[in-house]
Structure 1
Amino acid sequence: MDVGLSNKWVRWGLLNLAIVALYGTLMRYKIAYNFPFFEQKNLLHAHSHFAFGGWVSHLLYTGLTLLVTPFVTAGRRKQYQALVFLNLLGSFGMLVAFTIEGYKAVSIAFSTLSILVAVVFAGIFIRDRRCWPASHPSVPWAAGGLLLNVVSSAGPFSLAYMMATGNVDSSLYLGSIYFYLHFQYNGWFFLGSMALAAALLPPAFFSLKGYFRIFIIAAIPSFFLSVHWAGIPWWLYLATIMAALLQLGAWIVLLVRAKAWYHQNRPARPSYRKHLFFYAAAFALTIKFVLQALSAIPWLSRLVFGFRPIVIAYLHLVLLGVYSLFLIGYYVARQMIRITPVAKAAALLLLIGVICNELFLAVQGFAALAYIPVPFVNELLLGAAVLLLGGAAGLYISQYRKQKAGGY
């Protein structure tokens, strides 16, 4: 992928983030005030599918294409570029179709296109593994993430079948949603992000192969943390607990080792501000693994995750706090997001919006546990959404302003 085209894909990603934020703001406005246009459920479907496909998956596909480009032929590069384009096409198709009609034929068709892209991308990427240097640290993470991306598609296919036949089983419906979310959040998004992160690490960094094995093996049983309300057998429940604790332990050990290595090898003048989004994403991911481990406690899981604001707070913690911040930090580190005064202000505004959004959702959720009404919480959440929209839009616009790039 040539530099000009890759930078264009990154700018498309930033535009898509702004669109995701716009839909989030619109939904928050409909909750806080009267806005008769558009169905809220349709907006929610459009918002979530576009966030997954047009924002996170798009930049993961772009990043993996950039990594594989030096090792494959020009013809193969064009195939990867075509798949990135088709994923964008499917994402925008879902955005429009879900907004207008919800879960019906056109939206299902574009969703199927996105799934086909995932299957083909995984197939050719894994086949191209032999072209990579044997010691390249990104290969196992990328291949594992792409495989779990394909596995996650069983969820949407199950939902589409139920919608098409009109035979909707509530438990299967909910299980299909959680199946998709789990293998996206804990499979494709996590392993794909780790593949990109591994490519940034210096050659002298310690091996991550052992950690990869832990995370990919634990990804399967940890799914049942989401559905232990379905009455899973005791031995499977025990496996889910072990998987959650194993992932938390591996992540903490990885952080500790990385911190020790960094202190031994850090430059004379380290730039902490340049890596702010990486630190924030790592902190959010640590909270995510802790919450995941706590969800293994049945009564606590039923008590806490039975409240919609807490579930939404958790989902946004992972999507915004972990992967969105990481991807912005990654493309800043790759110098594919230009750091201008406007970009720095927008990035700070986005970070504040993420923090406020999580804080207000947590307050709303835990207040609901105690049946305590929180005045103006919907208006506060709308304000957080506006901050996210302003930050995302400003970051996108900053890439077109002719300003001299500066240090971060």
Structure 2
Amino acid sequence: MARVLYCWELGGGYGHTAAFLPIAQQLKSLGHEVVFALKDLEYADTWLAADHFCYLQAPIRWPDSRPQAPASSYPGILQNAGYTDKTGLLTRVKAWECLYRHVSPDLIVCDHSPTALLAARKFDTPRAGFGTGFFSPPRISPMPNIRPWLRVSDKALNIIESQVLNTTNSVLERLNTPPLRILADLLEFTEDFICTFPELDHYRQYRNANYWGPTILQTDGMEPIWPSVGAEKIFVYLHPEYPGLEVLLKQLRASPWSILAHIPGTTPVFIEKNSSANLHITPQPVIISAAAKQCDLAVCHGGVATLSAFLLSGKPLLALPFQLEQLISAQNLATLGAGTYIAAESKNPNYKTAVTELLRHSKHTQTAQQFADKYAGFSSAQQASDIAKRCEMLMKDAYIKGNS
């Protein structure tokens, strides 16, 4: 039996833990132990208790209230995560080192965990990347602008990257560990599990990667129950924090469609205020695979997993991103031709018109169906099995190398 340590350090939402859970279950079935080091423990027991997985608090930077400039590159993300504070970064790296010594993993899997990666450089343990690829940028210097609609000079990108690299190498020097040549060397993986399709890759113009397909969240939940009023079925999956939510719901109530909206964490008062004969709202999870098969169109924020679930069923989408990662995914969706998006900054957005246009023009549905046909052989269960077996091989190879 070997031990896998899954690390999640940056980013939000329970999707990180949920995405790796099927792989962890496969690894457990192969006889291995999986330990989770998580940024946020709030939903840890919900996801991990049934399989008796051990979970720990990941060493993270405590957030403060100081405003941060929007990151224009991956080094900018690190800068906002404390990578210009040598003392704080050194402390977190040492905390990760202590965790590694206590857990003694045979494989370290990093899901948006740059400091875990930095600490792992002192160990011979193989390490793997895991995620949609947004936090696994191309290995170039300077790393590319992730807001291409804004003009950011190479000089500006270089300045931020140099600052982050200097801090990182200063910490490595304190730890008697060789420095990084360029910042991209931090992302040295034995295997990088980029879990998306090429069309939805955030850095698709920069690399020719080995894509493992999306980790589609297969939650337990209720079967979709559609309002009896309305023609086409529209499925909505949005968070209550979305700033345009009530405007969207108001416009949908005045539409001719049958709408089922899953809004997690919403209150009975909100539901009563915003529901109608053709619009039902539920805070309870809905089985996404069933909703994707039954609906005519979906509205979501634009996360890769949700986009993929509906595209694999041949359904067009309206994406309403309010995070950078979602925005780039939404732009890829529009480029593909299987949907469109409305940016969070849009003034007086007309959601109803956007949905009407998507339904009226069959080209969007046809493109989504072509995507579904192209990837008809994709299986989430097979993907989890393949990644788990590759993890097992990484550990076996490291064991053979260590004993040779």
Same fold (TM over 0.5): no
Query: 1 or 2, which has the higher helix percentage?
Result: 1
TM-score of the aligned structures, taking structure 1 as reference length: 0.27
TM-score (normalizing by structure 2) = 0.28
With a CA cutoff of 8 Å and minimum separation of 6, indicate the structure with the bigger relative contact order: 1
- The structure in which a higher percent of residues are strand is 2
